[in-house]
Amino acid sequence: MGNTVRDLTIPDQRHPEKAHRLDNAQPKKPSWIRVKAPVSQGYKETRDIIRAQKLTTVCEEAGCPNVGECWSQGHATMMIMGEICTRGCTFCNVATGKPSTLDAFEPGRVAHAVAQLGLNHVVVTSVDRDDLDDGGADHFAQTIRAIRHRAPATTIEVLTPDFLKCAPSALETVVAARPDVFNHNLETVPGLYPEVRPGARYFHSLRLLQKVKEIDPSIFTKSGIMVGLGEDRQGVLQVMDDMRAADVDFLTIGQYLQPTPKHHRVDRFVTPEEFASYEKAAYGKGFLMVSATPLTRSSYHAGDDFARMRDARMAKLG
């Protein structure tokens, strides 16, 4: 592409790595997946603040089905370090390619938006930045510190990349900034990694979550998977066991939805009853907090869930 500006509204430019793939038929969504189009006043106010601060949200970039509900309540998940990712996961709608240089003023703008939105709890995520020596860890830390300065009452959740190609100090930098919740998603069962998350390593991601707890046991850890990609129940239960062995506190499970015909196909739509059964199994394995519904996403109801998780820890500690 050279230095021409990409138009990320054009699928082939947004996902050049997927352009040559055969189309996967997109099955009709069942009744329990349908969501209303966003129209509320709260939605518009949130959108206007995000636009004014020139910020990117994963809500829009990933095409989240809950954007209407969350934005109408003033909740948004900030996506830092640009909108172009160095990885090309087959499930993800975030654009792939060579990212631009980091914006040194972005942490301040994120903090300003958090204060303006009056958020009790904010989720900060990012694209993968394999082009940076520290994977963007210092930028995460600066953003956490900026939010603490501008909105000291806001609890902060980070949803980070895996820092696969970085020195161990990268993770230590993020943890040292003391987010309230450290989230890193495993996304799927290990057997599906080669086709779903080809650039990632299951056991590296698991160990990352475990290391957070080793460095600072007071930080809550969180991870999530999607179902409907081709996994079976036994595989999901094994992931739960692996997460608990790594001392993960909070588990999210949601239905995979295919963003475009070029993305990984939907193997099946998991029923609400199956999600309820996963939730019950996860609580039985010792998670402090579980969110398992068809529309669950990493950051969905994150603030309310954080409060419940904190209460659950206090109760457990007596």
Which residue ranges make up the annotated binding site for [4Fe-4S] cluster? 59, 64, 70, 85, 89, 92, 299
| Binding region | 59, 64, 70, 85, 89, 92, 299
| DSSP code of residue 216 | -
CB 157 within 8 A of CB 252: no
Neighbouring C-beta atoms of residue 188, cutoff 10 Å: 27
CB 175 within 8 A of CB 212: yes
Q: Distance between terminal CA atoms of the chain?
A: 59
CA–CA gap between residue 122 and residue 157 (Å, rounded): 6
Long-range contacts of 52-60 (CB under 8 A, 24+ apart): 53/109, 53/110, 53/112, 53/113, 53/116, 54/109, 55/79, 55/106, 55/109, 55/110, 55/113, 56/80, 56/82, 56/83, 58/94, 58/125, 58/299
| DSSP code of residue 104 | T
How many C-alpha atoms does 197 have within 13 Å on its Cβ side? Answer: 22
CA–CA gap between residue 214 and residue 208 (Å, rounded): 10
Give the angle 134-138-141 at the CA atoms, nearest 5°.
Answer: 140
Task: Print burial letters for 44-68: b (CB count within 10 Å at least 16), e (below 16).
Answer: eebbebbeebebbbbbbbbebbbbb
Return the bridge partners of 225, or none. Answer: 187, 253
